[in-house]
């Protein structure tokens, strides 16, 4: 009787461990997935984003330890409309949503280039179900 009970406990613990490791595995595969390839008409925006923004906002806009992801409801077009992006690049952003610190203004990126960056970011957001 006692042994049977112990077996049951061991078996439950084993199941639980398998369950836990399945959870962490799937979690990892989500975060390490490379961003989907951008359609060719967005490749200019992708390049500009990677050169000027990805250092903090991450390749594929997934975020880094220096800046937030844009794959978030917070940055959907209704919350942060396109002018916010122009303002952010032109003036920088004072820390208010997160603990990453301020975003410095980004020089050397023209207004039309920011438009291309926005188109790319909006596409990434749509790909991830944010619209
Ligand atoms: C040196 C790091 C850094 C770089 C480079 C950078 N950002 Fe940011 N950005 C941040 C941080 C940090 C925040 C979050 C500030 C907060 O809300 O606390 C932010 C926030 C933003 C926001 C949200 C603005 C708001 O009003 O909440 C936009 C839009 C943005 N960045 C666009 C860009 C674009 C476009 C580029 C590239 C041209 C870029 N960022 C490059 C660090 C950076």
The mean per-residue pLDDT over the stretch 39-61 comes to: 97
Number of residues that make up the chain: 131
With tokens 């990677």, the residue in question is: 50
pLDDT digits (tens, 9 = 90+) for 4-13: 676 666 666 6
Long-range own/partner contacts, residues 125-131 (CB < 8 A, 24 or more apart):
125/61, 125/70, 125/71, 125/75, 125/76, 125/77, 127/36, 128/71, 130/71, 130/72, 130/73, 130/75, 130/76, 131/76, 131/77
> CA angle at residue 62 from 92 to 36, to 5 degrees?
125
CA of 103 to the centre of ligand 1 (A): 5
How far, in Å, is the centroid of ligand 1 from the Cα of 93?
A: 6
Q: Which atom of ligand 1 is nearest to the CA of 118?
A: 35
For 75-126, the pLDDT digits (tens) are 999 989 999 999 999 999 999 999 999 999 999 999 999 999 999 999 999 9
- The residues, ordered by sequence, that sit 6+ positions from 127 with a Cβ below 8 Å of its Cβ are 36
CB of 85 closer than 6 A to ligand 1?
yes
The whole-number pLDDT of residue 5 equals 72
Task: Provide the pLDDT confidence category of residue 29 given band limits of 50, 70 and 90.
Answer: very low
| Residue 100 CA to ligand 1 centre (angstroms) | 10
Confidence at residue 27, expressed as pLDDT on a 0 to 100 scale: 41
């Amino acid at each position: 009787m006692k042994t049977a009970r112990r077996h049951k406990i061991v078996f439950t613990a084993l199941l639980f461990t398998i369950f836990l490791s399945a959870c962490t595995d799937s979690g990892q595969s989500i975060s390490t997935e490379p961003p989907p390839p951008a359609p060719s008409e967005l490749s200019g925006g992708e390049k500009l984003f990677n050169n000027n923004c990805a250092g903090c906002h991450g390749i594929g806009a997934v975020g880094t330890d220096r800046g937030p992801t844009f794959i978030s409801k917070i940055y959907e077009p209704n919350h942060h409309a396109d002018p916010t992006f122009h303002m952010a690049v032109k003036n920088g952003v004072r820390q208010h949503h997160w603990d990453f610190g301020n975003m410095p203004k980004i020089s050397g990126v023209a207004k039309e280039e920011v438009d291309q960056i926005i188109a790319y970011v909006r596409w990434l957001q749509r790909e991830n179900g944010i619209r």
